[in-house]
Amino acid sequence: MSMSDGCALDFLAESMCIAIENMKSTIEQIGTTRSTNTLELETRNWVTALFCYNSLENSNLISRIRKLGTHQTAMNLIEKSSDREIKLVQGIMDMLKEHNKNGTLIQRIKNRFLLSITDLETEFIDHHSLVLEIKRSQNIVVPLSEITECEDTNCEWIFAWLVETLGEEYQEYLVPYV
């Protein structure tokens, strides 16, 4: 992913993909070195990042498409994809709630979690690919500073999460905001 333009959506997408991989790893470790509470926390953090992503997407991308009156089909696809992401993550949270009572997960349940998280990952990657195409076609860059104006999330938390999740090569972009 190219971060040279410093687009907040790209930074969030990259960190969200890394976080999903971490969630998959956590599932494998549940019962040995991790608990379902860890997976629940990681999922909640991911959802917080998704809300920030969606808020920036709505205020910077979808609003611009509406003003231009172009790409109505793309806008509908983005909105439907966002809805599917929310449903998938809600399903994961429901499974966590249901199975967190026991404190351990049998392999069949771990596999269901892995499948659900993989579905979420696929949906999000497809969603962000569509966003990238629209951004490029409309020459849209959402500056990192826009995260500070995101009303749906705690911007300090988001920047701290980005710093924690992303590798060193991204830190130079994030330091001014932390």
Q: What is the dihedral of CA 23, 96, 118, 152, to 10 degrees?
A: -80
Helices (H) and strands (E) in the chain, counts: 7, 0
Please choose, from the candidates 138, 123, 134, 169, the residue with its C-alpha nearest in 3D space to the C-alpha of residue 11.
169
Measured between alpha carbons, how far is 167 from 32 in angstroms, rounded to an integer? 27
User: How many other CB atoms sit within 10 Å of the CB of residue 129?
Assistant: 11
Question: Could you tell me the end-to-end alpha-carbon distance of the chain, in angstroms, rounded to an integer?
Answer: 22
Query: Model-level pTM?
Result: 0.87
The pLDDT value recorded for residue 70 is 61
Query: Angle at CA 173, nearest 5°, toward 170 and 178?
Result: 105
The pLDDT value recorded for residue 103 is 60
Please list the pLDDT of the chain residue by residue as tens digits (178 residues).
Answer: 445 467 999 999 999 999 999 999 999 998 888 888 899 999 999 999 999 999 888 887 777 776 666 667 777 888 898 899 999 999 999 998 888 766 667 888 899 999 999 999 999 999 999 889 888 888 888 888 888 877 766 778 888 899 999 988 888 888 777 6
Q: Which domains does the chain have, with CATH numbers?
A: 8-172 (1.20.120)
Measured between alpha carbons, how far is 49 from 161 in angstroms, rounded to an integer? 9
